[in-house]
Structure 1
Amino acid sequence: MQSLWEATCNMPSFDPLPGDIRTDALVIGAGMAGILTAYLLQSWGRKTVLLEANRVCGGVTKGTTAKVTSQHNLIYAKLMETIGLRAARQYTDANERAVEGYRSLIRANGIDCEWEEQSAYLYSVKDAALLQKEAAAAKKLGIAAQVTDRIGGLPFAVKAALRFENQAQFHPLKFAAALLKDLTVYEQTRVTELKDQEAVTDRGSVFAKDIVFATHYPFVNVPGFYFARLHQERSYVLALRDAPKVEGMALGIDSPSYSFRNSGDYLLLGGAGHRTGENQAGGRYEELRRQAKAWYPDAKEAYYWSAQDGITPDAVPYIGRYSSSRPHWYVAAGFQKWGMTSSMVAARTIAEMITGKANDGAGVFSPQRLHVAASAKVLAEDTGKAVSNLAKEIFKAPPQALLDVLPGKSGIVDYEGEKVGVYRNEEGDCFYVTTRCPHLGCQLAFNPDERTWECPCHGSRFDYRGKLLDGPAQTDITLVFAEEA
């Protein structure tokens, strides 16, 4: 499983941290948000170090659909109703500036990253009312939004579509690779502990005046308590050859929702999303393949991949000070499936706060905010999920017999008196792992589409051998036993 971006860009590699060092600023996490933050800080005169636990852009950034847009689903009418006009305008202005920020940076540095100016569309095949409401809100906030009744190249008619002009798409890894050339980066260096202005890693310590968490999901539980106000979701993408060109970038607001955009000779078809840890039945890629076959019978699948996104209760990212008790820590998280634009918002906001170019605080994005009206429903759902899955760990059902676990499937079995998770591959080999998430103890569930164990509470993921793939967990789960057929 490889994304189109990975297949068409050789990313640079970097040595691990050589030992204890000192710097002005430390950025933890070398995805798009971390790279942009480090780049801006370095450009504005702060000596900056970028740490990555694995490989640069090896997480969410390699799985994005790479839309750079201020059109974030049905967001603006909701923001105006729940957090007010002033805060909604802050959100709007920050994301409009983010699109221009990419445009200016690419032009100034001559970066060849397949940047294409495009219109962004939201569409519905059922009803125009929500799109008309969103258009009215967007216009009130200063966005030139238009409602139309067609999107060229879609394989079906739409009832209505909302168009934002002057948006863009690009190749995220080619862009990131260009910025990395000027940065001090250490790979294969995992931060295991934070002590105020010291980051302890498995390779040595980094002492920094300011520390930025750009790890997608904050891994320090206290202070901050992000685990109580952030969950994760997965979505899936196919890259198709020999499919027609689609006008602009399109996202459906109906259920199920599908997204479309071209990249060179490929059409990217996305959708089939779910909360992380809630795909035991599988079939997400097959859902997309059925739709691709129906809509584009002559197209051929070239690549397929998935991505993970952090979701906040009020639909606004957390960008700013990590906690009032840690004035030198900063966080960028909860990008709501709009990680490319939000990465630029986060980088500019945090870099301005650190260098004194902006007043203290991050306005609408402040992690210390509390938008009760916008957050209550989602907070209640997230809390319920966490309680439910912690209970599963305590009150497990009786284990299955190993013979009941078919090739390509998983189950909870009894192994030497202990209940463990087992995955049997197509060759019949079995891999037994512990299924208690090392983050906060939730019961892991198996995702057969990706052969991963996933946490429904907070979104940590592990491969079938127990290796950590996504945080907030910081350690592997135990591979108890591997048995060849």
Structure 2
Amino acid sequence: MDTLWKSKSVSHNSGKEKGESIWGQKEYRNEAPSFTLKNDINTEVAVIGAGLAGILTAYMLQERGINVVVIEKDQVGSGATRNTTAKITSQHGLIYQKLLRYKGEERAREYARVNQMAIQKYEEISNHLHIDCDYEILPNYIYSLRGEEKIRREAEAAKRIGIPAVYTKETTLPFQVKAAVRFHNQAQFHPIKFMDGVAKELTIYEHTNIIEIKKNGLIITEQGNVKAKSIVIATHYPFINTPGYYFLRLHQERSYVTALQGWKKQDNILDGMYLDEDKNGFSFRTYSDYLILGSGYHRTGDNNPLDAYEKIETAAKKWYPEASIVYRWSNQDCITPDGIPYIGRYSARTPNLYIATGFNKWGMTSSMAAARIISDMIVNKESEYEKVFYPRRLMFSGSKVLLKDTGIIAKSQLSERLKMHQDKLEDIQPNQAGSINYNGEKYGVYRDKENRYYFVTTKCPHLGCSLEWNQNELTWDCPCHGSRFDYHGRLISNPATRDAFDTCQRKLIKK
């Protein structure tokens, strides 16, 4: 049996994010029964990853009579889904004018239809399963502070492919905008309440570490083996490097979010969800008595990220001076060069292996779209929406991004191989980090406020890029593919599958 993927080592230490999202609070959770794999099993489909995309794909397959199990290394909803802003919208920035220009009207209509369908499907599932997930139908706005013409073009593009978009200069934001495009009948909800409600209907094996995947569909875990006719990889970032080579066609980006209390006044109630078309702008939505305010985009592994939380706090004091920040958290998104997710067969050489990734900050409707497309492909061997999301498509519109990503990967790997001298240990200031050379090896060092030092191996265990320090969250992040580690070197997020901590480092710490 040929091996499709094998873990070099499985990490059992899970690093923690700095800050817990409002969705992750225990009082909001209504968890499904937890199962642990104890024996070898057979199934028609195995879904790897119990985030929203994985849960919805399994649910749609099960609704169509397919025997399906979900395998999760942690627990349901422990990944990217809990950190989203949870806007259910087909308005993905200024995407429709770009789709018409580079993909044509037919593909643009497919993209719009499946994302509009996703909004309706959330409401349908919530009602069918009687899930109280605070589902609200609201308009969504993309606004601009800089110009009107691009907003006008987006409204016209959306209307051309059947979305009732409205061009406007009137909003309920706490500042004046140049223009905005409004989509009616979009939605927002509590993503974890929804996911827990759906997860109750499924067979999910949590805390199950995968060791190896064979080409014949055998999944080997520490707890037992799963034999499947088809496998769906729904792990946010795909961990199988070849075939597929997604690490050459994806990067990850960070963004930062807060929840404010005490922001409401008679004259500043928001009528919907808002996002600046400028990537450095702000995102707004409400939940209960909270205002969820986000900003601070940067590429994961950027070696000089701005102080995102300070930026948000400054804006909050300006616009809502009586409000206080009660939650703060961050999210990570997989980005494709052309802004369209990869949904479909993993590669031409693996006809029974499927992928859902690269949601480009729009994980709610993209997860539902992926569930619809992949379930159609498994049951019917094809989907009416698969062409626009085809993972091996040509991407003329994304060529510049692809070249930039390639350059960053080459630069980072070269930097790690050269092991260039960076800092002296004694020069690293409290609550700061740097990198040092020791016996010809490069190490990252964080010095805490009590003058304790923490060492990590700066060579990312995924594909060998050089980890960079993120002062916002006190983490070591990979600029190439987005793996993240806490300052102890413990793995936080994939595609790496093990910690940035080795025996050489242990010897260094002892000395």
Q: CA deviation at 1:11?
A: 5.1
Q: CA deviation at 1:467?
A: 1.4
Partner of 2:475: 452
Amino acid aligned to 2:345 = R
Counterpart Cα distance in 2 of 1:355 and 1:243: 48
How do 1:169-184 residues align onto structure 2 when only pairs under 5 Å count?
A: 169-184=188-203
Partner of 1:469: 492
Q: CA deviation at 1:107?
A: 1.6
3-state SS, counterpart of residue 215 of structure 1: coil
Partner of 1:259: 283
3-state SS, counterpart of residue 58 of structure 2: helix
Partner of 2:292: 268
Partner of 1:202: 222
Q: CA deviation at 1:46?
A: 1.1
Counterpart Cα distance in 2 of 1:151 and 1:256: 19
Correspondent of 1:89 among 102, 106, 109: 109
Counterpart Cα distance in 1 of 2:292 and 2:130: 26
Q: CA deviation at 1:361?
A: 8.1
- Gapped regions of structure 1 (runs ≥ 5): none
Q: Does 1:99 align with 2:119?
A: yes
Partner of 1:303: 327
Counterpart Cα distance in 2 of 1:420 and 1:211: 38
3-state SS, counterpart of residue 161 of structure 1: strand
Structure 1 contact 279–447 (Cα < 8 Å) conserved: yes
Counterpart Cα distance in 1 of 2:263 and 2:110: 39
Q: CA deviation at 1:143?
A: 0.2
Partner of 1:5: 23
RMSD of aligned residue pairs (Cα, Å):
1.6
- With 388-397 and 214-223 compared, the bigger mean Cα shift is at 388-397
Counterpart Cα distance in 2 of 1:471 and 1:91: 28
Closer/same/farther in 2, CA of residues 331 and 289 from structure 1, 3 Å limit: same
Partner of 2:4: none
Q: TM-score, normalised by structure 1?
A: 0.96
Counterpart Cα distance in 1 of 2:142 and 2:187: 15
3-state SS, counterpart of residue 89 of structure 1: helix
3-state SS, counterpart of residue 369 of structure 1: coil
Q: CA deviation at 1:126?
A: 2.0
How do 1:86-485 residues align onto structure 2 when only pairs under 5 Å count?
A: 86-152=106-172, 154-196=173-215, 197-244=217-264, 245-254=269-278, 256-356=280-380, 358-359=382-383, 362-371=386-395, 373-415=396-438, 418-478=441-501, 480-481=505-506
3-state SS, counterpart of residue 28 of structure 2: coil
Counterpart Cα distance in 2 of 1:53 and 1:282: 32
Counterpart Cα distance in 2 of 1:302 and 1:5: 13
Correspondent of 1:56 among 76, 83, 86: 76
Q: CA deviation at 1:330?
A: 0.3
Q: CA deviation at 1:397?
A: 2.3
Structure 1 contact 240–268 (Cα < 8 Å) conserved: yes
3-state SS, counterpart of residue 364 of structure 1: coil
Q: CA deviation at 1:140?
A: 0.5
**1:158-215: CA deviations, max 9, x gaps?**
1111000000000000000001111111111122322121122232221101100000
Amino acid aligned to 1:294 = K
Counterpart Cα distance in 1 of 2:133 and 2:98: 33
- With 186-195 and 359-368 compared, the bigger mean Cα shift is at 359-368
**1:329-375: CA deviations, max 9, x gaps?**
0000000100011000000110111111745982111112113x212
3-state SS, counterpart of residue 240 of structure 1: strand
**1:233-275: CA deviations, max 9, x gaps?**
0100010001133120000113521110000100000111100
- With 5-14 and 338-347 compared, the bigger mean Cα shift is at 5-14
3-state SS, counterpart of residue 93 of structure 1: helix
Question: Quick one: percent identity of the two aligned structures?
Answer: 48
Amino acid aligned to 1:108 = H
Q: Does 1:76 align with 2:99?
A: no
Counterpart Cα distance in 2 of 1:147 and 1:282: 33
**1:306-342: CA deviations, max 9, x gaps?**
0000111111100010011111100000001000110
Correspondent of 2:86 among 66, 86, 94: 66
Shift >6 Å, 4+ stretches: none
3-state SS, counterpart of residue 474 of structure 1: coil
- With 252-261 and 230-239 compared, the bigger mean Cα shift is at 252-261
Q: CA deviation at 1:418?
A: 3.1
3-state SS, counterpart of residue 385 of structure 1: helix
**1:392-412: CA deviations, max 9, x gaps?**
111232142111111111111
Q: TM-score, normalised by structure 2?
A: 0.91
3-state SS, counterpart of residue 188 of structure 1: coil
Q: CA deviation at 1:416?
A: 5.4
How do 1:19-34 residues align onto structure 2 when only pairs under 5 Å count?
A: 19-34=39-54
Amino acid aligned to 2:325 = E
Structure 1 contact 353–360 (Cα < 8 Å) conserved: no
Structure 2 contact 309–472 (Cα < 8 Å) conserved: yes
Structure 1 contact 191–200 (Cα < 8 Å) conserved: yes
**1:456-485: CA deviations, max 9, x gaps?**
00111111111111111111111624969x
Structure 1 contact 249–260 (Cα < 8 Å) conserved: yes
Q: CA deviation at 1:44?
A: 1.2
Aligned residues: 482
3-state SS, counterpart of residue 421 of structure 1: strand
Counterpart Cα distance in 1 of 2:437 and 2:303: 23
3-state SS, counterpart of residue 216 of structure 1: coil
3-state SS, counterpart of residue 235 of structure 2: strand
Structure 2 contact 56–367 (Cα < 8 Å) conserved: yes
Counterpart Cα distance in 1 of 2:242 and 2:177: 47
Counterpart Cα distance in 2 of 1:147 and 1:419: 54
